[in-house]
Amino acid sequence: MSEPLMATYNRLPVTFDRGEGVRLWDTNGKRYLDALSGIAVCGLGHAHPAVRDALCEQAGRLIHTSNLYGVAEQERLGALLTEQAGMDRVFFANSGAEANEAAIKLARLHAHRRGIDNPAILVAENSFHGRTLATLSATGNRKVQAGFEPLVQGFVRVPYDDLDAIETAAANRPNIVAILIEPIQGEGGIRLPSDDYLVRLRELCDRSGWLLMLDEIQTGMGRTGRLFAFRHAGIRPDVVTLAKGLGNGMPIGACLARGAAAEVFSPGSHGSTFGGNPLACRVGRAVLETLIDENLTENAAVQGAYLLDALRAALGETRGVVDIRGRGLMVGIELDRPCGALVGQALDAGLLINVTAERVIRLLPPLIIDRAQVDELVGALTGLIQGFLGDA
C-alpha cells in the first residue's frame, strides 16, 4: 500500500476497481460478493443508476455555494427526511461523527438554557459514536480512547440494556440531561437490547425531562428492516442521527430533532462548511427515494430473516458458535474465540465480511441482495467458519 498515507488503517491486500450491485471486482479482475457494503454504507449496492444519475446531473449543475445562502437540494432532502422520520428539523453534516457532535452540542445547549451548568449525557458501555474527540469520549470502548486523554467530560456510562443502572444513575446524578444510545450496537458486536428497552427509555426520558437521542448511524436507512430502527419499538426519539446509508458512499450526515430539541440551535451556534451541499443532498434524496420506491426496506426485512434462519440451520449446532443474532440485514455470528483471521480467509474466497468485538463476524450486505445471493453468502461463510473452528 502507498507510504504517503498516514498509517491509520490496517488495510487488507486488495484494491477495488469497480462494482455493480452486490459485486466488486479488484484491480486483477477477481470478483467478490460484498457482505459488508463499506460498513453499512452502500445500501443500494454499487453503481446504482439512481445514485449515478443524481451525481452526474447535480455535478453538472451546482456542487457547492455556502450555507450563507439558500440551498434548494438541502431543503428538498430535509423535507423528505423529516417527513419520513417524524421529526421537525435537520442539520446536515459530512459524517456520522459530525452528526453525533451536533447532537451532543444540542443537548448541552438545551441544558444550559434550562439553567443546568454542568450537564451530563448518559451513554452505554461497548457503544461506538465516532472518532472525533467528543464522540470518542462518548464511546464505550477503551481501545478507541486510549492515548487521547484528557477526554471530553460530561458523559455518564452504564451497561447496555440495563434499565436498573440508568435508574440508579438518574437518582445519583441530577445533572443528566439526555441519553445517547444505539438501538442496536454495531461495533459493539451486533448486540440487540430487550424488546421493551427503547420504550422504557422513552418513558424514563419523559419522566425525567431528558432528551432521548438515538444514534442510527449504522441502523438507519432501512438496514434493520424498517427505515429507522426506532420504528420497531413504536416510539419517537427527540434527536436521531444518520449518516452511512444516507449517501450510499457520498459523505453526508444528519442530526434530526423534534419538539423543543428542534428549536435549540440558532444562527451561529453550529455550522459546517461542506455540510448539506447540493451534491451530497441531491444524492441523499435519490437514495431515500429509491429505498422507498423499490421497497428495499421490506427486502432487508425479508432477506434478513431468511439469512438468519439459514445461518442458524447451517451453523446453529456447530461447536464454537456461541450465537447468531441480528435484525434485518444487520447480522452477527459470535464465536467462542477471536476470529479476525476469517476476514482474510473470506477475502481469498471472494467474500467481503468484517469482524468486530474480536469474536463477532459482522454481515451488512447491500439492501438489494436477493435470495440466491443470500444462499451464496451462507454457503461460502459456513464452509469458512467450520474450517476455521475445526482447524483452530
Cα separation, 260 vs 203, whole angstroms: 17
pLDDT in tens, 333-392: 999 999 999 999 999 999 999 999 999 999 999 999 999 999 999 999 999 999 999 954
pLDDT in tens, 74-98: 999 999 999 999 999 999 999 999 9
Cα separation, 349 vs 372, whole angstroms: 18
**Residue 229, pLDDT above cutoff 90:** yes
Cell of 161: 440494556
Cα separation, 381 vs 378, whole angstroms: 5
Among candidate residues 71, 127, 85, 77, the one with its CA nearest the CA of residue 104: 127
pLDDT at 270: 97
Interval 288-305 mean pLDDT? 98
Count how many residues are written for the chain: 392
C-alpha torsion 35→39→41→46, nearest 10: -40
pLDDT at 3: 86
Among candidate residues 214, 230, 232, 220, the one with its CA nearest the CA of residue 284: 220
Terminal Cα distance for the chain, rounded: 29
C-alpha torsion 247→252→257→262, nearest 10: -140
Largest CA distance in the chain: 61
Catalytic amino acids? 128, 215, 244
Among candidate residues 244, 374, 240, the one with its CA nearest the CA of residue 300: 374
Confidence of residue 1 (pLDDT cuts 50, 70, 90): low
Phi and psi at residue 62, to the nearest 5°: -170, 125
Cell of 69: 445562502
Interval 234-253 mean pLDDT? 98
Q: How far is CA 13 from CA 26, 27, 58, 150, in A?
A: 10, 11, 34, 35
**Residue 242, pLDDT above cutoff 90:** yes
Cell of 153: 467530560
Q: What is the pTM of this model?
A: 0.97
| Helix/strand/coil for 360 | strand
CB 328 within 8 A of CB 225: yes
Could you say which DSSP state residue 73 is in?
H
CB 287 within 8 A of CB 44: yes
Q: What share of the chain is helix, strand, coil (3-state, %, to 5)?
A: 40, 20, 40
**Residue 193, pLDDT above cutoff 80:** yes
Interval 49-55 mean pLDDT? 98
CB 354 within 8 A of CB 383: no
Among candidate residues 275, 205, 199, 206, the one with its CA nearest the CA of residue 232: 199
